[in-house]
Amino acid sequence: MSNSAIYEPISNEIGYKSFKLGSFTFHRDEYFVYIEWPTKNGRMTHYISADAFLRAMMRDVAWGFFYYQVNFDHVFGTNNLYGKVEMFAGSFNETYTSQGLNLTETYETPEIMAVFKAILADWTNEGFDPFAAPRETGIAWMGRKNGDNAAAIGRDRETCKRMVGLPGDAPLRSDDRGYPVNPAFADVPQEAPEIHAAPGYEGRVFAINLFAYLSRSDVTWNPSISSVVKTNLFCPTTEEYILPIKHGNDRVEWFLQLSDAINWEIEDKTTGRPRAKVIMKPGDIASMPADIRHQGFAAKRAMLLVWENANPKVVELHNTGAIPPYPVAF
């Protein structure tokens, strides 16, 4: 990271550094993060609770800015332009845009990534894991600066070479890699499926108990990619508490509720106007259109399958209106 990104290289009196990127500055104190940007009426300050900010920042960093839009809340966020990234305040909130108080700036991806990583590292205290549910990670995010948690924020994705469980890949059972069943999933059966491979196919076909696998996930709101067929990605995930971002997509995605329940709030992607509430129970399937933003709420740890279309061509087709923002016209 270039030194210019550190706004005040000396930490504030409670130990946190301040940062700047373009015209934006970032500060934190015991409870809050303060984001400032210039407007025609002087500098505007927006407050976000530090835990919510760090949970959102963790997703933006870990997902490399994700598919198009990551809103930290109703004001601040980023747009992935796949090579460059826009950072904005108020630009997708009609209360701000109608008064001309919003700002969007564009950066090279490595530049904004370095600043975001530096903020996340400095502002995450020892014992706070932004990927964990509040039940698990408690209130260590609060207060004066107290150590760090490089292990939690530096998690690497475990990648498969073939398929988990097949010879030459990771061991099938995640307990073999040290992940216990989450107490919220204590009732999930752990039996592995029986595999009867035809002669000649031994060591080439395999099956796993996805529920058992997910029951041992140590993160929330962080989809894994469990199968890839061309640009068709199955991304199962375990959810508890609040999706730390409001995701504004540039394509259609599908949700399949595997267990428990998630309530979704759907807003217009451009204005933030409320559009729908979607209550998903086990077995429910929903398609999320390409012109909305959404945020999920899970009162109990839940399993969700996110089905993504990673084909980059659909972005242009949506942007030019060549295809509708929804998958099916009834």
Helix (H) or strand (E) holding 100: none
- 94: which residues sit within 8 A by CB, 6+ positions away? 270, 271, 272, 273
Of 247 and 301, which CB lies nearer to Fe ion in the complex structure? 247
Rounded CA-CA distance 247/259 in Å is 22
CA distance 124 to 152: 9
72 binds ligand PHB (CB under 6 A): no
Which of 173, 128, 130, 132 shows the shortest CA–CA distance to 147? 128
Q: What is the maximum alpha-carbon separation in the chain?
A: 75
Question: Please, what is the minimum distance in Å from the beta carbon of residue 262 to ligand PHB?
Answer: 9
Q: Does 247 bind ligand PHB (CB under 6 A)?
A: yes
State the Cα–Cα distance between residues 86 and 107, nearest whole angstrom.
6
- Collapsing DSSP to helix, strand or coil, 165 comes out as coil
Residue given tokens 């259109």 in the structure block: 289
239 binds, among Fe ion, ligand PHB, none (CB under 5 to 8 A by kind): ligand PHB
Give the span between the Cα atoms of 101 and 138, in whole angstroms: 36
Say which entry of Fe ion, ligand PHB, none residue 306 contacts (CB below 5 to 8 A, set by partner kind): ligand PHB
Residue 243 near which of Fe ion, ligand PHB, none (CB within 5-8 Å, type-dependent): ligand PHB
* Residue 96 interacting partner from ligand PHB, Fe ion, none (CB closer than 5 to 8 Å by kind): none
Residue among 6 and 243 whose Cβ is closer to ligand PHB: 243
Instruction: Please report how close the Cβ of residue 305 comes to Fe ion at its closest, in angstroms.
Output: 13
Which H or E element spans position 114? helix 109-123
Shortest-Cβ-distance residue relative to Fe ion: 247
Residue 291 C-alpha from the chain's centroid: 18
* Total Cβ atoms within 10 A of residue 101: 18
Give the binding site for Fe ion (CB under 5 A): 247
What are the strands, taking DSSP E only, across the chain?
A: 6-8, 18-21, 24-28, 32-39, 42-49, 69-71, 76-80, 84-89, 103-108, 227-229, 232-242, 246-248, 253-257, 262-268, 274-280, 285-288, 292-309
Cβ 255 to ligand PHB shortest distance, Å: 7
**For Fe ion, the closer CB: 179 or 307:** 307
Contact flag: residue 252 with ligand PHB (CB under 6 A): no
| Contact pick of 122, 129, 253, 265 for ligand PHB (by CB under 6 A) | 253
Q: How far is the CB of 11 from Fe ion (least distance, A)?
A: 36
- What whole-number distance in Å separates Cα of residue 225 and Cα of residue 234? 6
Among residues 102, 174, 237, 259, which is the contact residue for ligand PHB, using CB under 6 A? 237
- Using CB under 6 A as the binding rule, whether residue 223 contacts ligand PHB is answered as yes
By CB under 6 A, tell whether 91 contacts ligand PHB.
Answer: no
| Between 149 and 220, CB nearer to Fe ion | 220
- 244 is in the binding site of which of Fe ion, ligand PHB, none (Cβ under 5 to 8 A by kind)? none
Residues in region 283-312 near ligand PHB by CB under 6 A: 304, 306
| Residue 243 near ligand PHB by CB under 6 A | yes
* Residues at the site binding ligand PHB, with contacts judged by CB under 6 A: 221-223, 237, 239, 243, 247, 253, 304, 306
